[in-house]
Amino acid sequence: MRRDPIGAAARLLRWQAVARRGGTLEPAWVEGPAGAVRLRLRRGLSSATACWYAGLTDPAEMGFVLQALRPGDRMADAGANVGVYAALAAGAAGARVLALEPAAETLPDLRAMLALNGIEDRVEVRAVAAGAAPGTLRFTTGRGTTNRAAADGGTEVPVETLDALTAGAPPLLLKVDVEGGEPEVLAGAAGLLAGDALKAAILETAGPTDAAIEAAMRAAGFAPFAYDPFRRALAPRDAPARPNTLYVRDIAFWTERIATAAAIRVFGRAL
């Protein structure tokens, strides 16, 4: 959203007062065509707290979710964490979401976010990691939004492929934020990428796996794009962005979607 330093400072002070007491805060956040979304804040929920300060922490990616999705669309969210993307997609845009979150310590906060917004019927939560093949992996604990696959230690979590998880109900939009495991997730989504239902993906591209991600997405007919939610404009990129990249195919479809999007308000201010 557009800069609002006074509002951000006021929110910071409000949250600090609540956090010092060990309390929680459930403020109004985003208003969209399908309804209003509230944040759920408590100590340790860094992704939700960042949204409280900034409005939309990923303006391009979150703006695309809000302006491109429609009621009844499907989105798959691998690495759902505490549910900020799932809440935007389901609560504000009215989409149906498959939320994958393997961290047992995070699941209660994810479910609480959905319950706060009354969207449990639109979001299916699966306590699994997405990967290249079914099985298990070791997963770190105690790292909040940056828990990831571990060579040893941590806890064992089940792994399923996106192809299996989305069979019969492929998403229109995919979001993957799994702290470097994106190539493995895409390897388990070969059928989804080869089909024509999936038309966009928001992928974390913040490290040495970028080349593998780029190769997989381009091979499936996707190209990286920048998105300006204020102008509602898509523009081609030459390379992946940091920390996330929006990959798109069927530009005509998305151009029509974003041109006809309903108004969105973040903390009462128009997006």
118-145 pLDDT, tens digit each: 999 999 999 999 999 999 998 877 666 5
pLDDT of residue 147: 61
Work out the percent of the chain whose per-residue pLDDT is above 90.
90
Q: Residue 108: in which H helix or E strand, if any? A: helix 107-116
Please compute the mean of the pLDDT values over residues 253-261 and round it to a whole number.
98
pLDDT of residue 4: 84
Query: How far apart (Å, rounded) are the C-alpha atoms in residues 190 and 84?
Result: 27
Q: Answer whether residue 194 shows pLDDT above 60.
A: yes
Residue range 44-79, pLDDT digits in tens: 999 999 999 999 999 999 999 999 999 999 999 999
Query: How far apart (Å, rounded) are the C-alpha atoms in residues 86 and 88?
Result: 5
Four-residue CA torsion sign, 251, 256, 258, 259: positive
pLDDT of residue 97: 99
Please compute the mean of the pLDDT values over residues 264-268 and round it to a whole number.
97
Confidence of residue 151 (pLDDT cuts 50, 70, 90): low
Indicate the domain borders of the chain. Answer: 5-270
Radius of gyration (Cα) for the chain, nearest Å? 18
Query: How far apart (Å, rounded) are the C-alpha atoms in residues 218 and 51?
Result: 31
Q: Which of 141-150, 192-201, 203-212 shows the lowest per-residue confidence on average (mean pLDDT)?
A: 141-150
| Cβ 116 vs Cβ 122: under 8 Å | no
Query: How far apart (Å, rounded) are the C-alpha atoms in residues 262 and 17?
Result: 35
Does the predicted TM-score (pTM) go above 0.75?
Answer: yes
Work out the percent of the chain whose per-residue pLDDT is above 70.
95
Q: Answer whether residue 7 shows pLDDT above 60.
A: yes
Q: What CATH number does domain 5-270 carry, 3.40.50.150, 2.50.20.10, 3.30.43.10, 3.10.105.10?
A: 3.40.50.150
Q: Answer whether residue 1 shows pLDDT above 60.
A: no
Q: Report residue 106: phi and psi, to 5°.
A: -95, -25
Q: Which is more confident, 99 or 139?
A: 99
As a whole number, the mean pLDDT across the chain is 95
